[in-house]
Amino acid sequence: MASSAKSVVPAADLQSFTEYLRGCKRIVALLGAGISASSGLPTFRGAGGLWRSHDATSLATPEAFDETPGLVWQFYSYRRHMALQADPNKAHYALAELARRNEDFITLSQNVDGLSQRANHPVKQLHLLHGTLFNVKCTNFYCNYTEDNYTDPIVPALEIPKKSSGLNPSATDKTGEQASKAIGEALDDTSTEVDISDASNPIATVAREDLPQCPKCEDGLLRPGVVWFGEPLPEKTIRAVDKWIAAGPVDLCLVIGTSAKVFPAAGYVHEARSQGARVAVCNMDPNDTPGELHYGDWFFQGDAGVIVPEILKSVIGISD
Ligand code: BJW
């Protein structure tokens, strides 16, 4: 018997979107943290937005790094670790496939987690607006050192602490069940890690000299190669995106898993509109739209990891 998996997208919306999509040439997608939520990574605002007792966005500033470089590095080292443990989901793969099939499709990602790259998204069509967790650069104004770096932890002092092994003999367990569970957990590295995103688990203060140091000038601290509030977006990236938008009419702007509250990233939706684009938003929260939706736009409510492959299926030919 043929499978009859039920669509999560209302049929009329799916049909009108699909018909339009088939005729689209120049497409731009703006991605936010919500696309990686399906891969288990937290978002910035709302429920996932606290790291220990800190609002995640308050740690994403040059001022926070100047004042508490150890804490900010602990936050980023933890996120590097989590991103390396996570896998791209079906939305990342679907967008990568769309890019392979349509060279006039570009993706502007606000995400720093590397999941689009690991889904083999064609690099020329992927613009990283806010940098990446896996690049570091020197903070010394006079030093231009930068490197790609995937070492986890980047320095020993940033290693996520392990729970105590719990391998002590038990006075009450006569069956060995507790012991075999403890041995299993000790062997499965991630389950023995302390959840340092939870403020009730104490963490040691990391001294400045134990943080990543610049090997070139031997003076500055290294910092994550991401864009913090108040910092300009990478010039080359902005130039390339502006040139693409100015090059002609834009047919469609996909806005996926972003609260669209951070500029200039969110402004690209308005720029795409001014080039004629219709907008399709995919978000869990119906209030998170880039301004008011217009007649002819679409709002697909739900998990991007499910919705995005479904709405692109007719063009990319895959969904599972
Ligand atoms: C799901 C889901 C699921 C959940 N499926 N959906 C104009 C007006 C007002 C202010 C400004 C302005 N222009 C500039 C500013 C200032 C500032 C700004 O925008 N402030 C706002 C807070 C108002 N902008 C800047 O400072 C920028 N720089 C700048 O403008 O420089 C100018 C300059 C020029 C020349 C010299 C000097 C300066 C820089 C902004 C950098 C943002 N950086 C961060 C941190 C990056 C590093 C890191 O990751 O740690 O970027 S902040 C944070 O927010 C991060 C994100 O990329 C960004 C956007 O967040 P995102 O991705 O939208 O996440 P959330 O959590 O907000 O939303 C998740 C969404 O997913 C929600 O809607 C959920 O419902 C949804 N969701 N699960 C689908 N399964």
* pLDDT over 50 at 3, yes or no: no
Q: Compute the distance from residue 261 Cα to the ligand 1 centre, in Å.
A: 6
Ligand 1 contact via 288 beta carbon (within 6 Å)? yes
Is pLDDT of 123 > 80? yes
Q: What distance in Å separates the CA atoms of residue 156 and residue 162, rounded to the nearest whole number?
A: 13
Q: How confident is the model at residue 188 (pLDDT cuts 50, 70, 90)?
A: low
Query: Could you give the CA distance from residue 113 to residue 67 in angstroms, rounded to a whole number?
Result: 25
- Record the pTM: 0.93
- Mean pLDDT, range 179-193, rounded to an integer: 63
pLDDT digits (tens, 9 = 90+) for 238-259: 999 999 999 999 999 999 999 9
Residue 244 Cβ contacting ligand 1 at under 6 Å = no
Give the per-residue SS3 of the chain: CCCCCCCCCCHHHHHHHHHHHHCCCCEEEEECHHHHHHHCCCCCCHHHHEECCEEHHHHCCHHHHHHCHHHHHHHHHHHHHHHHHCCCCHHHHHHHHHHHHCCCEEEEECCCCCHHHHCCCCHHHEEECCEEEEEEEECCCCCCCEEECCCCCCCHHHCCCECCCCCCCCCCCCCCHHHHHHHHHHHCHHHHECCCCCCCCCCCCCCHHHCCECCCCCCCEEEEEECCCCCCCCHHHHHHHHHHHHCCCCCEEEEECCCCCCCCCCHHHHHHHHCCCEEEEEECCCCCCCCCCCCCCEEEECCHHHHHHHHHHHHHCCCC
Mean of per-residue pLDDT scores for the chain: 92
Residue nearest ligand 1's atom 24 by CA: 263
Residue set of the binding site for Zn(2+): 138, 143, 214, 217
* 122 prior amide bond cis, ω within 30: no
Q: Is 130 a catalytic residue?
A: yes
Q: What is the pLDDT, as a whole number, of residue 1? A: 33
**231 in contact with ligand 1, CB cutoff 6 A:** yes
Domains of the chain, by residue range, sit at 10-41+88-130+232-320
What dotted CATH number matches 10-41+88-130+232-320? 3.40.50.1220
pLDDT digits (tens, 9 = 90+) for 97-107: 999 999 999 99
Centre of ligand 1 to C-alpha 216, Å, is: 31
Separation of alpha carbons 179 and 128, rounded Å:
47
Q: Which residue from 134, 229, 255 has its CB within 8 A of the most atoms of ligand 1, so it is best to mutate? A: 229
* Rounded percentage of the chain residues whose pLDDT exceeds 70: 89
- pLDDT score at 2: 37
Tokens encoding 287? 């209030």
| Lowest-pLDDT choice from 15-24, 160-169, 209-218, 289-298 | 160-169
For a ligand 1 pocket test, name from 80, 263, 289 the mutation site with the most ligand atoms within 8 angstroms of its C-beta: 263
CA–centroid distance, 60 to ligand 1, in Å, is 10
Q: Mean pLDDT, to the nearest integer, of 208-220?
A: 98
Q: Which residue's CA is the closest to the ligand 1 atom numbered 9?
A: 263
* 55 close to ligand 1 (CB < 6 Angstrom): no
94 lines ligand 1 (CB under 6 A): no
180: CB partners within 8 A, 6+ apart: none
Q: Is 45 in the pocket of ligand 1 (CB under 6 A)?
A: yes
CA 109/CA 304 separation, integer angstroms: 14
pLDDT digits (tens, 9 = 90+) for 22-72: 999 999 999 999 999 999 999 998 877 899 999 999 999 999 999 999 999
Quick one: pLDDT band at residue 205, thresholds 50, 70, 90? Answer: very high
